[in-house]
Structure 1
Amino acid sequence: MTETDTAKSVDSERSLSEYRADVIVVGAGPAGSTTAYYLAKAGLDVLLLEKTAFPREKVCGDGLTPRATKQLVSMGIDISEEAGWLRNKGLRIIGGGSRLQLDWPELAAYPNYGLVRKRDDFDEQLARQAQKGGARLYERCNVGAPVIDDRSGRITGVHAKLGEEKTPVTFHAPLVVAADGNSTRLSLAMGLHRREDRPMGVAVRTYFTSPRHDDDYLESWLELWDRRGAEDRLLPGYGWIFGMGDGTSNVGLGILNSSSAFKELDWREVLKAWCASMPADWGYTPENMTMPIRGAALPMAFNRQPHYTKGLLLVGDAGGMVNPFNGEGIAYAMESGQIAADVIVQAQARQTPAQRELALQGYPKVLKETYGGYYSLGRAFVKLIGNPKVMQIATQRGLTHPVLMKFTLKMLANLTEPTGGDAMDRIINGLSKVAPNS
């Protein structure tokens, strides 16, 4: 063998090892990066494939509850104010002519504060943390079709186009994690389609230069009014205002497909109408808008199942993990990523393929035990508030009872002590246990 042949052989072996791993994670959002981080920290060889390059924008409210904050702490992210994080104390709720300010509950299980951070920067921090943990990140890696074993039907890798040159590459691993968001082309290619009986939301948002940028409460509007005409008009959905601490506010609204207006209206125009009804000194006017209005789907309550099949695990939005009560997705993306990583690590330690498969099949069961009953309650809640009259009555009467609203905050944000806790915690946990686990 000549020196040239030897060099080619070495390059070929390097290429094969570079594109092989124990696990492939497709998508470097919160779900994918968290999964990759915990897998790498456990000593597994992980490929993290991201179709765009950081920083990159994602449509989001940018507000993080204590549930998501806990996940960041667990990953060792510096969440200090000096590192650019804005803390919030709780939730301000506006509706029915009332305004109620509720602090996050004092719990042993979760911190008593939330955070705000723009998604382009937030996602990159998680991806870099996964890299520091040992994951191999490929940016500008557009994943296409799965590699399927003809005999078993299992996924054993993915085909992709890499870099600006779109170089065809095939990555190989015995396990693949779909963290590629609501569209999740990988799941669809494996025959996993969205369940039509589960709720879906849509969120639209933009940013404004505003004196309200330094607000230390997340603000939720349960009624959206268009006051431009001769008569005030109640708009469907709910709105939010989150101060970003950088001179801007994130202003957006969400709508559920249980609403009769879901397919009828242009939600960008609805957002504009709502902003036009606000006090002028807040600055939510077209000339102060710093970004275009953008929208995104919110896949809720396990709207794609099963969460494991034939070597593929679904995490985050790919598995419909968004909380139907409040539209929160980041906390559940990160939590499901950690759960998936733990299941994979345990499966890898089994001695035979049959034992490994048995461990992997436990992943959907763990998810249902963790969230199934709570999400079932959320589905019932979504159907109820889809009627604007019900929402209006609940807002007008509920906001005048602070104790009831404290209970509602715990329920909507899923912030209770897992065991013990106060009477509110026990009621919410009890309801979640007796609700259908599906």
Structure 2
Amino acid sequence: MSAQSSTDRDADVLVIGAGPAGATAAFHCAQSGLSTLVLEKTQFPREKVCGDGLTPRAVKQLLAMGVPTDTEGWLKHKGLRIVGGGHTLELPWPELGSYPDYGLIRTRMDFDETLARHAQKAGARLLEQTNVTGPVFDKNNRVAGVTAKQADGSEVTYKAPVVLVCDGNSSRFSLELGLHKREDRPMGVAVRTYYKSPRHNEDWLESWLELWDTSRGERKLLPGYGWIFPVGDGTCNIGLGVLNNSCAFGKTDYRAMLKAWMASCPPEWGFSEENRTGQILGAALPMGFNRQPHYTRGALLVGDAGGMVNPFNGEGIAYAMESGAMAAEVVVQALGRTGAQRERVLETYPQALQDAWGGYYTLGRVFVKMIGNPQFMSFATRHGLPRPALMRFTLKLLANLTDPKGGDASDRVINALSKLAPSA
């Protein structure tokens, strides 16, 4: 299958990183019969800063992979409860033919390892505590493998005709290839922690649309949202996300802001310091294809490495998994061919991403600019939430949940807008 001889390669495909993007890609590659080697720099179980919420988009990917989700550790939720402007509205996930009508919660401490072990069961080889340090190039300056450092400090080289880059937002491997982040794309920052709470078993994800920064002695509305996600294990995942289109971005103490928000909540919810069970940790949210091109010289960028977080709502897991599945499909087809034909197939990957989300992400960038205006955000919250029909449309738009063919009027409007918007 490879232009290299079998003795010159360690796998058909190398996957850098065993997060949702890497594990999903590895599962599909291995299930299709490819020799798949996954290199993960940490050891499972491991922590990952996230809201832990899985929308119906992500659930669809889990079902496609055959991941059991009716076992202990998974909590179903039926929709989104929105709080803002003095209003509270509960919006069930839409009933569609394309997606299930429920979401799931599972902590990333468990979730990532579950996906990685599932990929192993499909035949992928997983090497933990193997930190990829850089690319290996062939005589044509194509990526032909990677160098890595093992737990004992020894250096090792692994070779393969294709490399899937799934090493997250910082993506050191992408930087080694000269692929830097685009400054014209939105970026978010999220902080989160866990509290013991009697609300831990609720079946709604809760989103607070108004975040107030009081750290400078004045009450200032920031773009972004807060969340309260029940985990089902006695705790709630509490966090907030803020976008970089605010003059306060990078100048606000987000941890203090989170604590102040919790202090303003009813005492019976239990969001007090003595009930906090973990550190307040932060992470960046790379949005709207903020690193391109998504394919170059034998390497495909997948998930956060390619900046695939949804600008509308900060969701990254579903798009990591979807791009992992898309990358795997391209690789399977490419490795069935040789020479120029193989390269032509690999070059279809960026366009497949653009076809799937390009126009929609363009709309998302416009949305980010709009909510960066505090007056607009305040007006939209006050006047939008009392209108359930408008909010059901908004939920479909923000969560990217529509039926591509048929569907109701809101589906057709959102799909048409996504197609008309230029992708880039």
Shorter-chain TM-score category? over 0.9
1:140 paired residue among 105, 126, 129 = 129
CA gap of 1:229–1:135, structure 2 versus 1, over 3 A, is closer
Superposed, which structure 2 residues align to 1:389-400 within 5 Å? 389-400=375-386
- Residue equivalent to 1:105: 94
Give the aligned residue type for 1:39.
Answer: C
The offset of 1:19, in angstroms, is 6.9
Native 8 Å contact 1:146 1:155 kept in 2: yes
2:141 paired residue among 153, 163, 169 = 153
Q: Which secondary structure state, in structure 2, belongs to the residue aligned with residue 376 of structure 1?
A: helix
Give the aligned residue type for 1:211.
Answer: P
Native 8 Å contact 2:148 2:156 kept in 1: yes
1:209 paired residue among 196, 213, 236 = 196
- Residue equivalent to 2:43: 53
Superposed, which structure 2 residues align to 1:247-286 within 5 Å? 247-286=234-273
Superposed, which structure 2 residues align to 1:268-417 within 5 Å? 268-350=255-337, 352-417=338-403
Q: Which secondary structure state, in structure 2, belongs to the residue aligned with residue 391 of structure 1?
A: helix
2:76 paired residue among 67, 83, 87 = 87
Give the aligned residue type for 1:100.
Answer: L
Give the aligned residue type for 2:146.
Answer: V
The offset of 1:237, in angstroms, is 2.6
Native 8 Å contact 2:214 2:257 kept in 1: no
The offset of 1:26, in angstroms, is 0.1
The offset of 1:418, in angstroms, is 1.2
Alignment partners' CA distance in 1, 2:216 and 2:127: 52
Mean alpha-carbon deviation: is it higher for 426-435 or for 257-266? 257-266
The offset of 1:401, in angstroms, is 0.5
- Residue equivalent to 1:69: 59
Alignment partners' CA distance in 2, 1:229 and 1:386: 19
Q: CA offsets per residue over residues 9-56 of structure 1, 9 Å max, x none?
A: xxxxxxx96971111000000000000000000000010000000000
Q: CA offsets per residue over residues 289-341 of structure 1, 9 Å max, x none?
A: 00000000000000000000000000000000000000000000000000000
Q: CA offsets per residue over residues 109-148 of structure 1, 9 Å max, x none?
A: 1000000000010000000011001101000001101101
- Residue equivalent to 1:24: 14
CA gap of 1:415–1:175, structure 2 versus 1, over 3 A, is same
Question: What is the TM-score of this pair, normalised by structure 1?
Answer: 0.93
Alignment partners' CA distance in 2, 1:187 and 1:229: 38
The offset of 1:273, in angstroms, is 1.1
The offset of 1:413, in angstroms, is 0.3
Give the aligned residue type for 2:64.
Answer: S
The reply on whether 1:169 has 2:159 as its aligned counterpart is no
Alignment partners' CA distance in 2, 1:364 and 1:235: 34
The reply on whether 1:218 has 2:205 as its aligned counterpart is yes
Mean alpha-carbon deviation: is it higher for 125-134 or for 272-281? 272-281
- Residue equivalent to 1:422: 408
CA gap of 1:400–1:337, structure 2 versus 1, over 3 A, is same
Give the aligned residue type for 2:145.
Answer: G
CA gap of 1:230–1:120, structure 2 versus 1, over 3 A, is closer
Stretches of structure 1 lacking an aligned partner (at least 5 in a row): 1-15
Alignment partners' CA distance in 2, 1:310 and 1:108: 38
Runs of 4+ in 1 over 3 A off after TM superposition: 16-19, 225-236
Alignment partners' CA distance in 2, 1:200 and 1:227: 22
Stretches of structure 2 lacking an aligned partner (at least 5 in a row): 1-5
Give the aligned residue type for 2:199.
Answer: R
- Residue equivalent to 2:112: 123
The reply on whether 1:190 has 2:177 as its aligned counterpart is yes
2:224 paired residue among 237, 244, 247 = 237
- Residue equivalent to 2:3: none
Alignment partners' CA distance in 2, 1:54 and 1:74: 24
Q: CA offsets per residue over residues 63-97 of structure 1, 9 Å max, x none?
A: 110010010111111010x3321000000000000
Q: Which secondary structure state, in structure 1, belongs to the residue aligned with residue 380 of structure 2?
A: helix
Q: Which secondary structure state, in structure 2, belongs to the residue aligned with residue 105 of structure 1?
A: coil
Native 8 Å contact 1:228 1:273 kept in 2: no
The reply on whether 1:179 has 2:166 as its aligned counterpart is yes
Give the aligned residue type for 2:414.
Answer: I
Alignment partners' CA distance in 2, 1:211 and 1:190: 48
CA gap of 1:99–1:190, structure 2 versus 1, over 3 A, is same
Native 8 Å contact 2:194 2:277 kept in 1: yes
Native 8 Å contact 1:204 1:268 kept in 2: yes
Q: Which secondary structure state, in structure 2, belongs to the residue aligned with residue 126 of structure 1?
A: helix
Q: Which secondary structure state, in structure 1, belongs to the residue aligned with residue 262 of structure 2?
A: helix
The offset of 1:230, in angstroms, is 9.0
Q: CA offsets per residue over residues 177-219 of structure 1, 9 Å max, x none?
A: 1000000000100011100000000000000000110110000
CA gap of 1:362–1:235, structure 2 versus 1, over 3 A, is closer
